[in-house]
Amino acid sequence: MTRTVGQVRADVEEASRWLAGRVVRTPVLRSPVIDELAGARVLLKAENLQNGGSYKMRGALRAVGRLAMAGHTGVIAQSTGNHAVAVALAARQHGLAATVVLPVDAASTKVDRARAAGARVVFAGTSVEERVAVANGLSDESGHPVVDAYDHPDVIAGQGTASLELIEDAERAGTPLDALVVPVGGGGGVAGACLAAAGSGIEVYGVEPVGCDSLARSLAAGVRVPVTPAPTIADGLRPSCVGELPFAIVWDTLRGVVRVDDEEIAAAFRLILTELKVLAEPSGAAGLAGALRLAPARDRQRTVGVVLTGGNVEEALVARLMAPRSADLAEEGAAA
């Protein structure tokens, strides 16, 4: 917590150089239909096409790579899925052992991906507190460090490189960003976005599902506020509290937080699939849902960037979201 924002922003730029050639420089997508709905240019960074299926690969590779260079032989991570998958893949690339702690209700797609990457999978409850306790215990037993999904400078720097690339690509295309929208779980991605955008004049917004709004409540209170996460189809956006380091970075740099409900997330999911022809998970689609919430400005000269953070989604959920009924969404939310 002693690192300044300026120092951490330099870390994002350094991470970007280090990750060049190690991660996919994912494409930026655009749809006339989405532009019309938003009343602005909307540029979507397709991190659902990233190695491992999410932008979490960026932070995991950066953090695990540095640990490998420091001589560590194994790593431990906890998450609802994407960070765990990314750490498992990064550990395999560097020849390290990986243990990942997942909730008992983790999506089978993410469990299977972590195991396929060679990780030992441990299940622990449904809350982040339960997973953290187990991960810390495993770390004490093994001596392997925990690669935290949110409160880790290298993870934040790595996540921020997705936003940095989007900013750079928008400038090269002659449509520099006016705003940048990023879904919020524990806050690592949106903190990285704030660092990447520092000094540019770009407004950065976070997006949280209704009832999973620790960041919005924390910003209003001036201190971190935990919540009991409500059911949501966005399984990656359900931590009980925003991370300490992310909150320190965003509290005076974030323009605002947009809350979206499951109906809005589902509508954004369908737009991405039908208009962009790519598959994003609901947690990633939440970013577009938030951007559409910002639409009342209706400035067609305005350019809004959105990070589609991931694409690891269950086939059954895809089917339900493409043929939506209110009862289906309620059932899925209750099961989340």
Question: What does the pLDDT read at residue 1?
Answer: 37
Cα 21 to Cα 2, 55, 184, 189, 211: the distances in Å are 31, 15, 27, 21, 39
pLDDT above 60 (res 141): yes
Sign of CA dihedral 302, 303, 307, 312: positive
Per-chain mean pLDDT for the chain = 92
pLDDT above 60 (res 335): no
Question: What does the pLDDT read at residue 128?
Answer: 82
pLDDT above 90 (res 153): yes
Q: Are strands 179-183 and 303-308 parallel, antiparallel or unpaired?
A: parallel
Q: What whole-number distance in Å separates Cα of residue 37 and Cα of residue 45?
A: 18
Amino acid present at 195 = L
Q: Are strands 179-183 and 203-209 parallel, antiparallel or unpaired?
A: parallel
Question: What does the pLDDT read at residue 7?
Answer: 47
Confidence class for position 83, pLDDT limits 50, 70, 90: very high
What's the mean pLDDT in 26-48? 96
pLDDT, tens digit, for every residue of 183-227?
999 999 999 999 999 999 999 999 999 999 999 999 999 999 999
